[in-house]
Structure 1
Amino acid sequence: MISPFLRKSALALPLAALALAVSSAYAAPTQGPAGLAFYNAPAPTGAHGDLISYRTTTVNLGANAPATKAWNVLYQSTDSVGAANVVTGTVIVPTAAWAGTGERPVISYAVGTHGLAQPCAPSLQLAGGTDYETANIAAALQAGYAVLVTDYAGYTTGSTPTYLAGASQGNAVLDIVRAASQVPSVGISANAKTAIWGYSQGGQSASWAAERKASYVPNLNLVAVAAGGVPADFIATAKYLDGSNGASFLFGGVIGLAEQYPTQIPLNTLANANGQAAIARGKSQCVFESLFDLMNHSLSEYTVGNQSLDQLIAVPAINATLKAQNLGATKVPVPLYQYHGQADEFIPIEQHVDLKRKYCAKFSNVTFDVYPSEHIVTQFQAAPTVLTWLGDRFNGKSTLGTCLTLNAEPKSTANPNKGNFVVSLKSWPLVANVGLKTLGQTVNLPTTSTFTADTDITAQRLTGTLSVPNFSQSIKILGIGSQVGMKITPVGDATGTVTLDNQGQLHVHGVAKADITITSLSGLPIGSCKTVTPVEFPINFDGPVSSLGNGNLTFSGTTTFPQLKGCGVSAILSAVMSGPGQTYSFTVKPPAPRKF
């Protein structure tokens, strides 16, 4: 007969062994060290989505961002070949209580290209206030959502980002959701409604996350995905970029994929001396520095024997690796919002339209919007629409999508992508007013006013023009109200300089000149009472490049109105409307998108 003591001991042994196995497979997350020591990655030992370590941090999202709490996280994920890896990221939660129903929703925000050097990591740039995507992140936080920002694989110390390795990026976007819920006192539930939002590289990552959701994280409460500017067909996008003003994105992709697939893309044996030097530079640069360094260079300049992109693509192992990054093989299980700039000079819109067709053919619920502008502008112009669309999904509203549409297929209107990097503003709506100092009154320009310009970022040159229809406005002159007819006529082009620095800050400095003519008072023609010399409106702006797209590109200041001559009441009009100290504000906004 077995004694009760021995029976208990025999039972205790396998339980103890099981407990030991569990504890060795999953260790509780620890508080990580300060500084770059946090980025020293341990060997992965648990499951994907496990939080390894965390620490509190601060994020600098700009003056209008809401108050937040933030943490850096180090968590386990999976690369594109199925191996465990360790990824860093940032968890940001508004300090204000969630005002909606249920638990606070979560957005896993997939960033676009940041660069291959460790200081380019979004987590480091968010802390330093230099991340160019802060406007979108702040807008999501302003809506009350928790925002999770993965760095993607490769920003831990001693690593190289596996840039554009689709599955790895998608996995990192998904795994940060469970990892974030394990941060002590974070206030994020692992069961909270979750959406994914990304653009460019982030759009690729968001789409990969959408395709992998069902098999990789089946229990994630994913309700929607928004993916813009997506490089869905790697080879088509690579051919578009080679030798173009966006060549740096192709070159970064070669480095990133070679890091993930070293056997299939043996970079060290493919690169010539010029290529080896460019690789070293690329690994030390962030996105805007790399953009200008490699602009209009072809891949053949950097390969042994000057092999062209077409020759490299013909190598079976390389071809298979590039095609493995393509999207569209799997149905997206939740509503998907796709968007693209019709004038995108970096990512061809046609291949993104093809991705829509593939998803629709698999009965995915897809909405596709076409924005009128280029790549950078569209990223930020789309943000309000994206957040409204995601908000509807969080609130349980259904969407029919646009798979069934009679609208014409969009065709690219991009500027030539060989040569200078030119951002064109074609008849963008202009919201403008002029403050008359002596009268203490404001003149609002017609809502149909527009601004057209070519901003040549390469040549650092701005050329543009104002278009203001003739209009009338009620103004009190000598205490008597009168409808004053006005005409604002541009004199020559608006000209100036425009630069984009390595921190993603846009700098515009120039002047627009215009004649101002008073044509009527109280509906009665008075001749042509015109300023004797053109009014000069300085157009100065220093701020984030996101302002190009989010409607915050504003030129404001003070100017002097010259004397008015040419009519019988010119002396009176000059007395009340001329002189220094007149104020003005011109805000340029991108045109509205359309459905496809």
Structure 2
Amino acid sequence: MKTRFPSHRLAVPLAAIALAASNAHAATQGPAGMAFYTPPAVITGNHGDLISYRSTTVSLGTDAPAVNAWNVMYRSTDSRGAANVVTGTVLVPKGIWLSLTARPIVSYAVGTHGLAQSCAPSLQMAAGTDYENANIVAALKAGYAVLVSDYQGYTNGATPTYLAGASQGNAVLDIVTAAQKIPFGGLSTNAKVAVWGYSQGGQSAAWAGQLQPTYAPNIKLVGVAAGGVPGDFKRTARFLDGSAGSGFMFGGVIGLAQQYPDKIPLDTLASETGKAAINQGKQQCVFESMFTFMNHELSEYTVNNRSLESLMTVPSINEALTAQDLGGNTITAPLYQYHGQADEFIPLDQALALKKKYCARATSVTFDLFPSEHIATQFQGAPYVLSWVADRIAGKTAAPNNCGNNGPEPQSTANPGGGNFVVSLKEWGLNATVGLKTLKQTVTLPATSTFTADADITAGRLNGALSVPDFKQTLSIIGIPANVGLRITPVGSATGTVSLDNSGILRIKGTAYADITVTSVLGLPFGECKTVTPVAFPIDFQGPVSSMGNGKLVFTGTTTFPQIKGCAISAILSTMMSGSGQTYSFTVSPPAPKRF
């Protein structure tokens, strides 16, 4: 999907530059190194005030546009109304913005990164290890300035208030105001602003949408995109406890206890085992924590093995958890809500319930249901989000509104929550080509070809299968075009290994086997013209986990086609098609979403 902007004459945003220059006295240049993250001893001023800033460099990948980048420290407000200090990163594409309007802004709310300070998005973008780079780059390519808050707690010596919704929403809004105050940063207070986030970021984006009318009314919010949203905290916690995603729930307990120490007193609730686990969790980033705590129940870490269900009956704990629920206020800007039908971490039913809450409050909701699990949906959703955001930036007032859709509710297709972490690819699209070395021609497989697999990340095991309908391809044989019928028949399963490391790098190494049969030439059948042994297609991949959802899960390589036997023209076919050096390219992509 393409993003669209109105075409105008060249205009330099002089108003933005003048505004930034007038605010130059309000903030100081921050120090180099980790000293930048040291908060001031006293917090003064108003939320959204820029405390300090510094130019920085970021590593977003080889396909990222050139940007001007700053780290910022700014004043914000926590979930209990107290002033706090938050850091973040401001990214502005280099070059003049070719429009009479101010460059649009996307406040990008990141998902779970982990509790250690090194997990902060600003530090990970500098190191080139942020697993959300693909979405950030997509927004930059659309021409937007992208602002990425670290959220509360990544300053030196602090612990993030992970999943404290209002604090996160405030931070996502306040970085907009702070970024507009960077001297000569080029961002105008007249800029149209969209907020986009997924998972924890979806929670943050929705909270920002609810808070904006009263908390930051001067921000020109034109749309909120919130995916994979934990809108019902207790329902989500029950879903996660003892599951492959229990590490997220465990981190949420730590984060909310940091924000509400009087309501969730960890020191008295946690056992000695629990206190050790808390210290461990505070030193880990998201993927390490996920694998450390997966399938563990909260009761393993509490005094007298008290269960999650029991703890949620404690009035103060129940109050703190309930305070994170969304849907209690209208989002006045249009909302794009999306979710994965196979989401194994954030339950689908509560996302559908959240949609109904917003619809009941007259929020205009566009809801897209993606077929995949949590991680793939995060990145598959990007082009749909950006197309929707582009319409809001362009001023299209009639956002698609699904609130009148009263059809049957879709049911979750998620894998069972307990046990291994298995990512299922169910009939994902297979865009495949095979290059025939001798003929110097390319065979394109049918568009309806699919790849189905279970990637067991815990066991490190991949098991899948190709599905390719019979098809015909025109090949030039001795300069004469010939219509050749082909059949590719999988032999056994596509098997191999799969892993996901602590930096979010996905590695797949396996092999798919298939018999190749020529069913006809020039419409004439010649018998069973089949390779004498199956063709081996190595399916090797190494790249960011975002590749699962953004169409970049690509397997390429060379293989050998065995001799073709069993028909009257076997010798001719073998001469044309057999031998080493045959190339192939398989791109695997999830199916399209459905609007609900």
TM bucket, shorter chain: over 0.9
Q: Residue 192 of structure 2 corresponds to which residue in structure 1?
A: 193
| TM-score for the superposition, normalised by structure 2 | 0.95
SS of residue in 1 equivalent to 2:543: strand
SS of residue in 2 equivalent to 1:524: coil
Report the Cα offset of residue 27 of structure 1.
Answer: 6.2
Q: Residue 277 of structure 2 corresponds to which residue in structure 1?
A: 278
SS of residue in 2 equivalent to 1:550: coil
Whole-angstrom distance in 2 between the partners of 1:570 and 1:96: 60
Structure 1, unaligned runs of 5 or more: 1-24
After superposition, the CA RMSD in angstroms is 1.1
1:443 equivalent in alignment to 2:443: yes
Whole-angstrom distance in 2 between the partners of 1:400 and 1:153: 34
Runs of 4+ in 1 over 2 A off after TM superposition: 96-101
Identity rate, percent? 67
Report the Cα offset of residue 310 of structure 1.
Answer: 0.9
Report the Cα offset of residue 409 of structure 1.
Answer: 1.2
| TM-score for the superposition, normalised by structure 1 | 0.95
Whole-angstrom distance in 2 between the partners of 1:541 and 1:320: 46
Q: Residue 424 of structure 2 corresponds to which residue in structure 1?
A: 424
Q: How far does the alpha carbon of each residue in 1:446-469 deviate from its partner, in whole angstroms, 9 at most, with x for none?
A: 000000000001101000000000
1:381 equivalent in alignment to 2:399: no
Contact 2:244 / 2:295 at 8 angstroms: preserved in 1? yes
Contact 2:169 / 2:206 at 8 angstroms: preserved in 1? yes
Q: Residue 389 of structure 2 corresponds to which residue in structure 1?
A: 390
Q: Residue 59 of structure 1 corresponds to which residue in structure 2?
A: 58
Across the two proteins, how many residue pairs are aligned to each other? Answer: 572
Q: Residue 126 of structure 1 corresponds to which residue in structure 2?
A: 125
Contact 1:99 / 1:144 at 8 angstroms: preserved in 2? no
* Equivalent AA in structure 1 for residue 360 of structure 2: A
Q: Residue 4 of structure 1 corresponds to which residue in structure 2?
A: none
Whole-angstrom distance in 1 between the partners of 2:60 and 2:523: 50
SS of residue in 2 equivalent to 1:191: coil
Whole-angstrom distance in 1 between the partners of 2:562 and 2:411: 47
Report the Cα offset of residue 44 of structure 1.
Answer: 1.3
Contact 1:132 / 1:503 at 8 angstroms: preserved in 2? yes
Q: How far does the alpha carbon of each residue in 1:324-378 deviate from its partner, in whole angstroms, 9 at most, with x for none?
A: 0101110111000000000000000111111111110011111111000100000
Report the Cα offset of residue 399 of structure 1.
Answer: 1.3
Q: Residue 68 of structure 1 corresponds to which residue in structure 2?
A: 67
Whole-angstrom distance in 1 between the partners of 2:429 and 2:77: 46
Report the Cα offset of residue 479 of structure 1.
Answer: 1.9
Contact 2:24 / 2:182 at 8 angstroms: preserved in 1? no
* Equivalent AA in structure 1 for residue 26 of structure 2: A
Whole-angstrom distance in 2 between the partners of 1:331 and 1:234: 19
Report the Cα offset of residue 406 of structure 1.
Answer: 3.9
Whole-angstrom distance in 2 between the partners of 1:376 and 1:301: 27
Alpha carbons of 1:592 and 1:436: their partners in 2 closer, same or farther (altered >3 Å)? Answer: same
Contact 2:331 / 2:363 at 8 angstroms: preserved in 1? yes
Contact 1:342 / 1:370 at 8 angstroms: preserved in 2? yes
Contact 1:312 / 1:318 at 8 angstroms: preserved in 2? yes
Q: Where does 1:320-339 land on structure 2 (aligned, <5 Å)?
A: 320-339=319-338
Report the Cα offset of residue 100 of structure 1.
Answer: 4.1
* Equivalent AA in structure 1 for residue 191 of structure 2: A
Q: Residue 212 of structure 2 corresponds to which residue in structure 1?
A: 213
SS of residue in 2 equivalent to 1:566: strand
1:109 equivalent in alignment to 2:100: no
Whole-angstrom distance in 2 between the partners of 1:570 and 1:232: 62
Report the Cα offset of residue 411 of structure 1.
Answer: 1.2
Whole-angstrom distance in 1 between the partners of 2:295 and 2:141: 39
Whole-angstrom distance in 2 between the partners of 1:38 and 1:122: 14
Whole-angstrom distance in 1 between the partners of 2:519 and 2:328: 64
Q: Residue 452 of structure 2 corresponds to which residue in structure 1?
A: 452
Whole-angstrom distance in 2 between the partners of 1:558 and 1:347: 40
Whole-angstrom distance in 1 between the partners of 2:427 and 2:408: 22
Report the Cα offset of residue 212 of structure 1.
Answer: 0.4
SS of residue in 1 equivalent to 2:59: coil
Q: Residue 317 of structure 2 corresponds to which residue in structure 1?
A: 318
* Equivalent AA in structure 2 for residue 560 of structure 1: T
SS of residue in 1 equivalent to 2:147: strand
Whole-angstrom distance in 2 between the partners of 1:539 and 1:308: 44
Report the Cα offset of residue 96 of structure 1.
Answer: 3.0
Q: Residue 408 of structure 2 corresponds to which residue in structure 1?
A: 408
Q: Residue 539 of structure 2 corresponds to which residue in structure 1?
A: 539
* Equivalent AA in structure 2 for residue 91 of structure 1: V
Report the Cα offset of residue 97 of structure 1.
Answer: 2.4
User: Please, which of 35, 38, 52 is the counterpart of residue 37 of structure 1?
Assistant: 35
Alpha carbons of 1:574 and 1:130: their partners in 2 closer, same or farther (altered >3 Å)? Answer: same
Whole-angstrom distance in 1 between the partners of 2:84 and 2:392: 32
Whole-angstrom distance in 2 between the partners of 1:117 and 1:238: 22
Q: How far does the alpha carbon of each residue in 1:414-464 deviate from its partner, in whole angstroms, 9 at most, with x for none?
A: 000110011100111100000001111000000000000000011010000
Q: Residue 227 of structure 1 corresponds to which residue in structure 2?
A: 226
Report the Cα offset of residue 292 of structure 1.
Answer: 0.3
Whole-angstrom distance in 1 between the partners of 2:96 and 2:65: 12
Whole-angstrom distance in 1 between the partners of 2:110 and 2:43: 24
Report the Cα offset of residue 26 of structure 1.
Answer: 11
1:486 equivalent in alignment to 2:482: no
Report the Cα offset of residue 101 of structure 1.
Answer: 4.3
Contact 1:26 / 1:45 at 8 angstroms: preserved in 2? no
Structure 2, unaligned runs of 5 or more: 1-22
Q: How far does the alpha carbon of each residue in 1:60-99 deviate from its partner, in whole angstroms, 9 at most, with x for none?
A: 1111111111000000000001110000000001113223
Report the Cα offset of residue 480 of structure 1.
Answer: 1.6
Q: Residue 162 of structure 1 corresponds to which residue in structure 2?
A: 161
Contact 2:230 / 2:236 at 8 angstroms: preserved in 1? yes
Q: Residue 525 of structure 1 corresponds to which residue in structure 2?
A: 525
Whole-angstrom distance in 2 between the partners of 1:63 and 1:263: 47
SS of residue in 1 equivalent to 2:549: helix
Contact 2:531 / 2:564 at 8 angstroms: preserved in 1? yes
Alpha carbons of 1:26 and 1:215: their partners in 2 closer, same or farther (altered >3 Å)? Answer: farther
1:347 equivalent in alignment to 2:328: no
Contact 1:31 / 1:54 at 8 angstroms: preserved in 2? yes
Whole-angstrom distance in 2 between the partners of 1:49 and 1:403: 34
Q: Residue 204 of structure 1 corresponds to which residue in structure 2?
A: 203
* Equivalent AA in structure 1 for residue 413 of structure 2: T
Whole-angstrom distance in 2 between the partners of 1:592 and 1:252: 32
1:362 equivalent in alignment to 2:354: no
* Equivalent AA in structure 2 for residue 246 of structure 1: G
* Equivalent AA in structure 1 for residue 302 of structure 2: T
Q: Residue 508 of structure 1 corresponds to which residue in structure 2?
A: 508
Q: Residue 3 of structure 1 corresponds to which residue in structure 2?
A: none
Alpha carbons of 1:26 and 1:520: their partners in 2 closer, same or farther (altered >3 Å)? Answer: closer
* Equivalent AA in structure 2 for residue 196 of structure 1: V
1:471 equivalent in alignment to 2:481: no
Contact 1:26 / 1:47 at 8 angstroms: preserved in 2? no
Report the Cα offset of residue 400 of structure 1.
Answer: 3.8
Whole-angstrom distance in 2 between the partners of 1:355 and 1:211: 13
Q: How far does the alpha carbon of each residue in 1:113-145 deviate from its partner, in whole angstroms, 9 at most, with x for none?
A: 000000000000001000000000000000000
Q: Residue 4 of structure 2 corresponds to which residue in structure 1?
A: none
SS of residue in 1 equivalent to 2:567: coil
Contact 1:407 / 1:595 at 8 angstroms: preserved in 2? no
Report the Cα offset of residue 216 of structure 1.
Answer: 0.3
* Equivalent AA in structure 2 for residue 475 of structure 1: L
185-194 vs 381-390, which deviates more? Answer: 185-194
Contact 1:26 / 1:46 at 8 angstroms: preserved in 2? no
Q: Residue 86 of structure 1 corresponds to which residue in structure 2?
A: 85
Contact 2:149 / 2:172 at 8 angstroms: preserved in 1? yes
SS of residue in 2 equivalent to 1:281: helix
Whole-angstrom distance in 1 between the partners of 2:334 and 2:408: 22
Whole-angstrom distance in 2 between the partners of 1:101 and 1:401: 30
Q: How far does the alpha carbon of each residue in 1:525-576 deviate from its partner, in whole angstroms, 9 at most, with x for none?
A: 1111111111000000000000001111000000111111111111111111
Q: Which has the larger radius of gyration?
A: 1
Whole-angstrom distance in 2 between the partners of 1:208 and 1:359: 12
Contact 2:24 / 2:181 at 8 angstroms: preserved in 1? no
Q: How far does the alpha carbon of each residue in 1:263-304 deviate from its partner, in whole angstroms, 9 at most, with x for none?
A: 101101110011001000000000000000001000000001
SS of residue in 2 equivalent to 1:492: coil
Q: Residue 183 of structure 2 corresponds to which residue in structure 1?
A: 184
Whole-angstrom distance in 1 between the partners of 2:103 and 2:363: 27
Whole-angstrom distance in 1 between the partners of 2:100 and 2:108: 22
Whole-angstrom distance in 2 between the partners of 1:379 and 1:316: 34
Whole-angstrom distance in 1 between the partners of 2:190 and 2:554: 42
Q: Residue 567 of structure 1 corresponds to which residue in structure 2?
A: 567
Whole-angstrom distance in 1 between the partners of 2:430 and 2:24: 57
Whole-angstrom distance in 2 between the partners of 1:542 and 1:372: 24
